[in-house]
């Protein structure tokens, strides 16, 4: 494929992706009130349980900053399990790339150095896109910012490893709780659909 065809193909894929995202947004907005309420309740249940479990496990393991596990769980949980799985993958990949970029920035300039941050941020963004993980670039940038701009005590490599461990813990909790609650949600929605289908035949 020549460069011109590759650019055209990329533009076509991007346009289709934007249209699909806009269609999904319209579908969610057009959902009846009852459906929105049920989705919101199940989303809240998944979020609070996943975040609480992640925090409690992190606190029990003395990771030092267990709240990052809870934050990761909140960030990963999505209304549908397939989206949660994708968000979890992006979270892990982005954190790994951001950790490497952050350590690189610390090596060239140290913590709190704006120049190091301005070097690390584009590095992690471009790296994510090169490895076909563009959705993880935002998470990678956040991770690099935390490592470079938030004051930390102890060895820098240890901070990066703890952060990755906390993200993995939060992501695992989000995936496990998301899968479990999604199964319950599917049963509830299936029961409601069956009742709606049977309602006209039951009427006199």
List the chain pLDDT tens, one digit each, 204 residues: 566 555 566 567 656 656 766 665 666 566 667 777 888 898 999 999 999 999 999 999 987 788 989 998 998 998 888 888 888 988 888 888 988 888 888 788 777 778 888 888 999 999 999 988 888 998 888 888 887 887 766 676 777 778 788 888 999 999 999 999 988 988 887 888 777 777 665 444
Which pair of structure tokens corresponds to residue 42?
A: 């199940």
Phi, psi of 65 (to 5 degrees): -135, 65
14: in domain: no
At 54 the pLDDT is: 95
At 62 the pLDDT is: 86
Domain residues for the domain of 70 are 31-178
81: in domain: yes
The predicted model scores a pTM of: 0.72
Per-residue DSSP letters for 74-92?
A: HHH--SSHHHHHHHHHHHH
1: in domain: no
Judging by beta carbons within 10 Å of its beta carbon (0-12, 13-18, 19+), is residue 52 exposed, middle or buried?
middle
Distance, in Å, from the CA atom of 172 to the CA atom of 153, rounded to the nearest integer, reads 27
Instruction: Count up the domains in the chain and report the number.
Output: 1
């Amino acid at each position: 494929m020549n460069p011109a065809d590759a650019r055209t193909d990329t533009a076509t894929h991007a346009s289709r992706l934007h249209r699909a995202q806009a269609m999904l947004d319209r579908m969610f907005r057009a959902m009846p009130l009852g459906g929105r309420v049920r989705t919101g309740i199940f989303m809240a249940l998944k979020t609070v349980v996943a975040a609480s479990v992640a925090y409690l496990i992190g606190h029990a393991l003395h990771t030092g900053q267990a709240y990052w596990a809870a934050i990761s769980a909140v960030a990963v949980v999505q209304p549908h399990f397939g989206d949660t799985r994708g968000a979890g993958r992006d979270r892990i990949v982005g954190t790994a790339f951001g950790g490497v970029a952050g350590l690189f920035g610390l090596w060239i300039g140290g913590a709190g150095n704006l120049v190091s941050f301005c070097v690390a941020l584009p590095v992690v963004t471009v790296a994510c896109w090169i490895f076909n993980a563009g959705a993880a670039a935002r998470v990678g940038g956040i991770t690099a910012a935390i490592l470079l701009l938030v004051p930390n005590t102890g060895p820098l490599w240890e901070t990066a490893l703890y952060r990755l461990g906390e993200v993995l813990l939060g992501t695992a909790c989000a995936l496990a709780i998301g899968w479990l609650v999604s199964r319950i949600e599917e049963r509830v929605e299936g029961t409601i659909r069956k009742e709606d289908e049977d309602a006209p035949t039951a009427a006199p």
